[in-house]
Chain A
Amino acid sequence: MRPADETELAEAVRGATGPLALRGGGTRGIACVAGEVLETGGIAGIRLYEPGALTLVAAAGTPLAEVEAALAGERQRLAFEVPDLRALLGREGASTLGGVAAANAAGPRRVQAGACRDAMLGVRFVDGLGAVVKNGGRVMKNVTGYDLVKLMAGSHGALGVLTEVSLKVQALPEAEATLVADGLADAEGLAVLRRALGSPYDVSGAARAEGRSAIRVEGMAGSVAYRTRQLRALIGGDTLVIEGEESAALWRGIRDVTPFAGRAGAVWRISCVPDEALAVPGALAAAGVAHDCLWDWGGGLLWLLCPEGHGDAIRAALHGRGHATRLRGQEDSPAFPPQDRAIAALQAGLKARFDPRDLFNRGGMV
C-alpha cells in the first residue's frame, strides 16, 4: 500500500485486517517485521521552511535528500547529522524524513547538538485505530501537554505511522577543522576523546576509527583556529589538523560506518557509558572472537563488527551500563535490546493502547 495523503493512510489503517510493515525509504529499518508493506513515500513534500526561524516542517515521506537540498540552499543543515547506512546494511532506496525520525537517527554531532529527538518540534501520526494525532508544533519551546514527539522519535513504527515532522534546523558554520591523533593504543586514544569533550572548546565530533582518534570543532573561522590550537596543546603528542572538505569526508565516513561496509559479519550499535567503551571488545578478545570497532560520541557509541552468534555475550559484557542493538546479521539473540520487566510492561502498555490490534511492525521493537 502506498497512500497518497494522511486521510488515505488513516483509512488504510482503519481498514487493515492484518499486520502492516511500515516503510519510509527502507534504508534504516531494524529487524524483520511481519505484514503487508505500508509505504509513506506518497505522503511527501516540504510544508513550511522558515530559515530565519530555523524551522522546517515536512511530510514524513519526503526524501531526506530533498530536505537536505532545501536546507543547503539557505546555508543550513540538520544538526544531528543523519547517517546514511545503505552501504553498511546493503540497502537500496532513498531515506525519508519519517524514517529518520522513527529511528531517532544521530551522527557524530550528537555530543554537541543532540539526536533527531532533540531537534524534533512536532509530529503528526496515525495511530493503530486510524486516528490522526498531532503533538508539539513548530516552535522551539513547547511544554503544552505530554511530549509525544519524543515518544514517537525512535519508536521504530511501534506506536503509529508518522505523517509529518517539524524540525529545528541549524545554520552551516563558517569553518570546520579536525585534529587527528595517530599511533595511540585504543585505551589512550579513547581517553583523548573524553579529555577533549571535557574541555571548554565546544567539540562537535569525537570519534576513533582505524587506529586514529579524531576531534572536530566548527564555527567562525577565528574561533575554529583558536580552539584547534588549544585542543592540540591539551592533547599533546603528534597530531595532524585537516580542514574543509577533507575534514567533512572523514566525518561522513564515521557517520556512515564506512570502514565496515561490504565486510561480512553482524553489525552492532552499542550505547554505553563512555569509559566502558572497551568492555565489549575486551570480552570478545578474551573469548578469542575476531571483531572490529568504531567508536563515536567520545566512546559513548560503539559500532561493532563480529561474527554472528555473540549477541548474548555482547550484552552480558555491558553489565547494564548501556545497551546493544543488532543492525545486521541473523541470530537467536533479539535485534533490539531486551528490557527489564518494569520497562517492558510500560512499553507493552503503550503498544496496547496506541496500536491495540498489534498492526504495526509486529516482531519489531515492541
Chain B
Amino acid sequence: MDMPQPDARVLAGKARIVARLRAVLPADAVIADEAETRAYECDALSAYRCLPLAVVLPRTTEEVAQALRICHEERVPVVPRGSGTSLAGGAMPTADSVVLGVSRMNAVLQADYENRFVHVQAGRTNLAVTGAVEAEGFFYAPDPSSQLACAIAGNVAMNSGGAHCLKYGVTTNNLLGVTLVRMDGEVVTIGGPWADAGGLDLLGVVCGSEGQLGVVTEAWLRILPKPEGARPVLMGFAANEVAGACVADIIRAGILPVAIEFMDRPCIRACEAFAHAGYPDCEALLIVEVEGSPAEIDEQLAAITAIARRHDPVALEEAADEAQAKRIWLGRKSAFGAMGQINDYMCLDGTIPVSALPFVLRRIGELSKDFGLDVGNVFHAGDGNMHPLILYNANTSGDLERCEAMGAEILKLCVEVGGCLTGEHGVGIEKRDLMAVQYAPPDMEAQMRVKDVFDPEWLLNPAKVFPLEASAARRAG
C-alpha cells in the first residue's frame, strides 16, 4: 500500500508540536510515547500499520478546536478516529500525522422523546446510543456489525449501514445534525433536530466524507419507537439463483422485511462448523426478519413463506420462540468469526443490483478457482450489499497480495454489473486506488472540490479516498 512520504519538516518538529498540544490540552490528553501510540497504529484493517507522530484524546469540542488550530498552524496532517473499527483503513495514521481520537467524548447531551431525537457527543458507541434511550421504548436504527465498539463519529464519517437498513436506512437517513470542527479550528453547527437545512445539504455531504471535511464532535440522531417484536425465518435453497429469485419476489410482493441476509454454501458450512446453529447443508440460505405485533408478524411471515414455497425450498424454519430466533441469527452473526477460524480473511463490501446476484456469485466462484483462494459469501441481499470473505494465509509469502488482487477483480466485477466498490465500509486506503474503476476524472474532481472548500490545505486524513496521483497536487499545496 503506497502512502505519501512523511513530511520531514513535521517529523523534525515533533517536540515542538507535542509541547504546543500539551500547553492547551490536559496532561492525559496528549500521547507521544511510542509504547502508548502503538495502540493507534492501525484500525480494523490491521494488515497496514504506521505509528503516528502523536495522539490527542480531547474531551470537549473546544479542546478539539484547540488541537486542530495548532495542527493547522504547524501544517500537521490530522487523522480523526472514532473507535478504530474501520475495515478500510479510514483511521490508519501516517508517520507525520496526529491522530485525533474522540473516544472520551461519549456523553448523552439530550434525549428528547417528544421530538424523537437524541443529541450525543460523537465518541459514544452506536449501541450505547440505543442503550441511552431503550428504557423509554426507543432505539437508534443503523446497526453496523461493530455496533458494540464503533463510535457515532466513525458511523458519520463512513455513513455506516447495518443488517436492518433495508427498512430503516443507513446513517445519512437517520442523522439530523452535527457539530463539526474544521481543520482551522472553526466550530460549525450543521442542521439540528428538524428537517433539512434551508440551504445546501451540507450534512448530506459531511456524512460519508471519511473524516476529510472536519472532525464531528456532536450529533443529533433520529430515534425510533421500538417495534413490538421481531421474528426471523430461515430458508434453504438448492441454488443461489433460486434464492436470488425468492428475494426479488419478496420485494416485489410489497413486503418490507427489516432484514434479508444471504449466505452461500462455503459460508454456511463454516458457520455451521463454528456455531452449530443447525443450518441445513444447502447451496444458499436466506434469513428474513420481520417486525410488529405477533399477529402482524404471522401475517407477514405467512406471505413470505408462501413465496418461498414457490421456489422449492430445501428448508423452511420459522422461529417459534426467542431461543429459536437467536439460534437462526447465531450462525449469521458469527460468520466473520467462523471464517476467521479457518484462515485469515479479507472482507469485501461491494454492492450490486440484486438482479445481478446469480451472475456475480458464479463469477466469484470462477475467480476463486483462478486465484486458488476460497471465498465465502455473506451479504445483505435486500439491498445487494455483498460481503465476500476471501480466505488467505498471512504467513504465506505472496498470499496477501494474491488475495488483494482477487479482491480488486471482484470489486471491478461489482462496478461492471452496475454496482459500486463499497456499500458501507468506506474507501479509506483499501479501495482508494480502485476509485478510477467507478469514477471518471471529472467525477473525482467534483468530489475533491468539496474537500477544497472544507479543508483547503488538505490536512485532514489527506492520503485516503482518492488515488494518490489524483490528489497529489492538492496535497502538495
Contacts and interface: CB of A to CB of B under 8 A. Distances in A.
Interface of A: 50-55, 74-75, 104, 106, 110, 114-115, 117-118, 127, 131-135, 137-151, 153-155, 158-159, 170-174, 194, 197-200, 202, 219-220, 222-223, 226-227, 271-275, 297, 300-301, 321-325, 336-337, 339-340, 342-343, 346-347, 349-350, 353-354, 365-366
Interface string B373-391: 0000000101111000000
B173 A118 contact: yes
Contact of A197 (B116, B166, B201, B209): B116
B453 interface: yes
B173 A139 contact: no
Given A145-B439, A150-B172, A272-B194, A140 B201 contact: no
B204 interface: yes
B208 A147 contact: yes
B146 interface: no
Interface string B197-230: 1111111110111000000000000000111100
Contacts, number: 264
A194 B113 CA distance: 9
Interface stretch (B2-10, B16-24, B276-284, B352-360): B352-360
B188 interface: yes
B251 interface: yes
Contacts of B187: 342
Contact of B194 (A51, A153, A323): A323
B252 A52 contact: yes
A349 B188 contact: no
A344 to B, nearest CB: 8
B248 A365 contact: no
B60 interface: no
A137 B419 contact: yes
A219 B202 CA distance: 34
B202 A343 contact: yes
Given A52-B252, A346-B453, A274 B114 contact: yes
A140 to B, nearest CB: 4
Interface string B323-348: 00000000000000000000000000
Contacts of A140: 166, 351, 382-385
A74 B248 CA distance: 13
Contacts of A343: 188, 190, 197, 199, 202
Contact of A51 (B208, B252, B299, B422): B252
6 contacts: A53-B354, A114-B173, A145-B435, A150-B203, A151-B202, A342-B189
B113 A198 contact: yes
B477 interface: no
B461 interface: no
B229 to A, nearest CB: 9
A346 B299 contact: no
Contact of B200 (A272, A322, A347): A347
Contact of B295 (A219, A226, A340): A226
Contacts of A174: 254
Interface of B: 113-116, 137, 158-159, 161, 165-166, 169-170, 172-173, 186-190, 192-205, 207-209, 225-228, 248-249, 251-256, 292-293, 295-296, 299-300, 303, 351-355, 380, 382-385, 418-427, 431, 435, 438-440, 442-447, 449-454, 465-466
Contact of A143 (B189, B208, B380): B208
A78 B233 CA distance: 28
B204 A153 contact: yes
Nearest to A152: B201
A138 B187 CA distance: 35
A220 B422 contact: no
A273 B187 CA distance: 22
Contacts of B165: 141
A133 B420 CA distance: 16
A346 B351 CA distance: 31
B170 A141 contact: yes
B204 A274 contact: no
Given A147-B208, A154-B196, A365-B199, 9 more contacts: A51-B252, A141-B385, A145-B435, A220-B303, A272-B194, A273-B115, A297-B195, A300-B194, A365-B200
A147 B159 contact: yes
- Sort A-B residue pairs by CB-CB distance and give the 7 closest, nearest first: A150-B204, A171-B254, A323-B198, A337-B198, A52-B248, A140-B383, A141-B423
A148 B446 contact: yes
A134 B443 CA distance: 6
B420 A104 contact: no
Contacts of B255: 171, 220
Contact of B421 (A144, A200, A300): A144
A366 B453 CA distance: 15
Given A139-B352, A143-B425, A173 B254 contact: yes
B114 A275 contact: yes
Contacts of B225: 197-200
A145 B431 CA distance: 10
Contacts of A54: 251
Given A118-B173, A346-B454, A142 B199 contact: no
Residue from B113, B187, B292 having most chain A Cβ neighbours under 10 A:
B292
B226 A200 contact: yes
Contacts of B351: 139-142
Nearest to B173: A118
Contacts of A146: 205, 208-209, 447, 450-451, 465
Contact of B186 (A50, A110, A274, A342): A342
A104 B196 contact: yes
A171 B251 contact: yes
A227 B299 CA distance: 13
Contact of B254 (A75, A144, A153, A275): A75
A38 B113 CA distance: 46
